[in-house]
Amino acid sequence: MNLSISLTVNGERRDVELSDPRVTLLDLLREGLHLTGTKKGCDRGQCGACTVLVDGRRINSCLALAISLDGADILTIEGVARGDRLHPVQAAFIAHDGMQCGFCTPGQIMSAIGLIGEGQAGDDPERVREAMSGNLCRCAAYAGITEAVLDAQKALTAADLRKSA
């Protein structure tokens, strides 16, 4: 069985030889590519800690077989900052205390980036909470998370407006 795939991970092309067809995208990122920012919480699609973007869409990487994603473009938490400059969503999570222990934070941030890209929530906190319900936070930093998402979205929209002006 041919188990070699190629992925673009955080902008860089990676040719990968999978040891086994059972490898999930999450395990490939963590064990194969040593990108341990993406967290394994439940490993069953219930907690959202493993959220990454695949071809621009947020998904649970624990429920995706790596081999099925041959050719995909993957963005993980390691790929969102520009050098020392944090992504606006990262900066907003810090500004609003959108975390306590931090374990769910990479998944929260990737989910928030996906949510803002989807453009469905607008500035309605109820819609933001609903759209973030796939990311659990055992420390219950939800109030800060919601504020961070709303604030980051505002910042990103303002940046877009400046760019297009």
Query: Which one of 29-37, 76-84, 132-140, 147-155 is the stretch in contact with another protein (CB under 8 A)?
Result: 132-140
Contact map string, positions 86 to 125, toward another protein, x by CB under 8 A: -------------------------x--xx--x-x---xx
- Tell me phi and psi for residue 14, to 5 degrees: -125, 125
* Residues in CB range of 74: below 8 A, 6 or more apart: 7, 8, 9, 10, 25, 29, 52, 53, 54
Query: Which of 6, 127, 139, 160 is in the footprint of another protein by CB under 8 A?
Result: 127
> Toward another protein, which CB reaches closer, 97 or 130?
130
Residues 6+ apart with CB under 8 A from 2: none
Q: Between 66 and 99, name the residue whose CB sits nearer to another protein.
A: 66
Residue 146 in contact with another protein, rule: CB under 8 A: no
Binding track over 35-64 against another protein, x by CB under 8 A: --------xxx--x--x-----xxxx-xxx
> Which spans in 63-137 are helix H?
88-95, 105-118, 125-131
Distance between CA 47 and CA 134 in Å, rounded? 6
Residues 1-20 that bind another protein (CB under 8 A): 1, 3, 20
- Does residue number 78 form part of the binding site for another protein (CB under 8 A)? no
CA distance 37 to 68: 22
Other residues' Cβ atoms within 10 Å of the Cβ of residue 120: 12
Q: What is the CA radius of gyration of the chain?
A: 16
Residues lying near another protein in the complex (CB under 8 A) are found at: 1, 3, 20-22, 24, 43-45, 48, 51, 57-60, 62-65, 67-68, 111, 114-115, 118, 120, 124-127, 129-135
